[in-house]
Amino acid sequence: MNVQNKVIVVTGGGSGMGRELVLLLLKKGSQVAAVDINPDTLKETLELAGDKKDKVSAHVLDITNKEAVFALPEKVISRHGAVDGIINNAGIIQPFVRVNNLEFDAIERVLNINLYGVIYMTKAFLPHLLKRPEGHIINISSMGGFLPVPGQTIYGASKGAVKLFTEGLNSELLDSNVRVTVVFPGALATNIAANSGVGIGMEQDAESSSTPTTPADKAAEIIVDGIEKDSYRVLVGSDAKLMDFLVRLNPKVAAKFIYKQMASLLPD
């Protein structure tokens, strides 16, 4: 789907990769509905839109609130006239601890945002996308959605669920006008750890990470290119591409490799 002159909803549009997606889509001629729970960062995104500010709308929203999510399509359509695509980008990581030490409130928060938020958004917008000449759903999974990362097991489970949810949705919509893409970012130079309220994770703060990361703006370019090519799956970063290959070659070896990389970071 060519994004020019399309109306696209982006969750997590207040910062990181979500913000870069909003700005890139505007640059390429889209209208954008930017969604975020943080009104301050969302306002910053609008200011960064500059002379394209009239093409973007801001929606302060908690994607775990099903009623609020289901009220969103009407607001977007009222402002922009239609909706052609959604990018389910909003997500958080978990505290970097083993499952045995992870509290249920943290487990539920990760699952509610990373999985149920995607499901709510999809259910709310899909009926409208099916009415358009063409539509697109993009769900952001993670390298942790196909590769087990110790200390991020619940996060990985949520992103693995997003992977299969997206692939199943793609199959259900093969004979429709709506295309579906799943995205697997590796380590990104974003502030997801701070936004998640934790200190460390697969995607680390750009300021504190010594691990090679993909810049958020480059990740946005790769994702939008995937939209325009109607890609089935998109890998973001050389690390995601390498581990995708290794998992296919020998999943047990891949799991042990990541364990050795991350084990020293796990608290006893």
Residue 107 CA to residue 127 CA, distance in Å, equals 30
Tokens 């978990």 label which residue?
94
Residue 185 CA to residue 225 CA, distance in Å, equals 14
Residue 265 CA to residue 112 CA, distance in Å, equals 26
Total number of residues shown for the chain = 268
Residue 219 CA to residue 192 CA, distance in Å, equals 14
Tokens of 168: 């199943």
Residue 180 CA to residue 138 CA, distance in Å, equals 6
Task: Please report, to the nearest 10 degrees, the dihedral formed by the alpha carbons of residues 226, 167, 70, 48 taken in order.
Answer: -20
Task: Please report, to the nearest 10 degrees, the dihedral formed by the alpha carbons of residues 94, 169, 216, 132 taken in order.
Answer: -140
Residue 202 CA to residue 152 CA, distance in Å, equals 8
Q: How far is Cα of residue 137 from the mean position of the Cα atoms in its chain?
A: 11
DSSP assignment letter at 176: S
| Catalytic residue annotation | 155
